[in-house]
Chain A
Amino acid sequence: MAEFAAWVESTAISKALFGMVWLWPLCESLHFIGLCMLIGGAGLLDLRLMGMFRGLPIRHVKALMPWGIAGFIINAITGALFLTMQPHLYLTSGVWWSKVAFIVIAGANALFFETRLALPALALDPNADTPPGMKLVGALSLFSWFAVLYCGRMLPYLGTGN
């Protein structure tokens, strides 16, 4: 990984991007905005799946998903730019790989919901409580996204790569 990071950093594209001094703070700002969109959009669905916000039909909450996905895409793009500019900070960091693992867990969980639970969820009465399976999926999603946030924000203090 260290060699790969060194190679990425030696490429012209990495040097050119890192040379634009405004790009890093711009990407950080967008990364924060994307994170709010993701947690706002996905979080409300997660809380509804956990049984909160009863009275709110799940189809209405699910309509927020495109905004959550848009936030994720913004963060994937800005994240890829950070990685291209300073790969050594991330690729040899256990904290960063934990972040990636939580993204994979959250993604797999969302896919499981979409393919297995979305139809029964949409059919629920707006005032009904949710079954345990949906509560678990909602809680796992919320926990994973906040774990992603935690790993990202704490990365400089818990350990960047070398």
Chain B
Amino acid sequence: MAFFHSLQNSAFTDWFLGSDSIWTYPTVLTLHTVGMAILVGASFVINLRILQVAGAIPLQRLQPLYRFVWIGFAVNLSSGLVLFVTEAADRVVDPVFYVKICSIVVALSFGMVVKRNAIDRSDSQPAASARSRFLAAASLALWAVAIVSGRLMAYLKN
């Protein structure tokens, strides 16, 4: 706990949150939103297609979309780490933060299972299995939970 307090009360935090420059907090926050658009946007497309409600893109052709999933994730992991450091002590005791992190981890894992079972297969079927569809629906819901909890965190700041 002392460690998280030292992060939150560091000179870096003071500079990052206190600076008048738009290149510190506002830009990292905006990058976190851009990364979200790329990561969740690509995941939405993949999952909606798996659920058979977004046209008939051959399932294998969804493969390159995972590049965007990982690019968006990389942007948000790095921007998220910076944002976390500056509120570390508040966040480690914030249940909403854990809801957000868990839903992201599970949504990504489900996405990987769907990729392995429905997209990477060379004998790819026109429609995904019931199991893949269930995971896609769960993944969609979890991304929504991640977004809502992320937004709520801003209201539960100390």
Contact = CB atoms under 8 A, between A and B. Distances in A.
Interface residues of B, number: 33
A44 B62 CA distance: 11
Interface stretch (A57-65, A79-87, A133-141): A57-65
Interface string A16-59: 00000000010011001101111111011000000011011000
A64 B155 CA distance: 34
B98 to A, nearest CB: 18
B151 A29 contact: yes
Given A60-B55, A60-B57, A64-B55, A33 B26 contact: no
A29 B147 contact: yes
By CB atoms of chain B within 10 A, which of A37, A63, A153 has the most?
A153
Contact of A40 (B40, B57, B61): B40
Interface string B7-33: 000000000000000100110011001
A150 B153 CA distance: 21
A12 to B, nearest CB: 26
A67 B34 contact: no
Measured as residues with beta carbon below 8 angstroms from the partner, the interface class of chain A is 20 to 34
Contacts of B61: 53, 55-56, 60
18 contacts: A28-B151, A29-B147, A32-B33, A35-B33, A36-B147, A40-B37, A40-B42, A40-B43, A40-B44, A52-B64, A53-B64, A60-B61, A146-B37, A149-B30, A149-B34, A149-B37, A156-B26, A158-B26
A-B pairs, top 10 by smallest CB distance, nearest first, are A63-B55, A40-B41, A157-B26, A36-B40, A39-B37, A39-B41, A40-B44, A60-B57, A29-B148, A153-B30
Interface of B: 22, 25-26, 29-30, 33-34, 36-38, 40-45, 48, 54-58, 61, 64-65, 143-144, 147-148, 150-152, 155
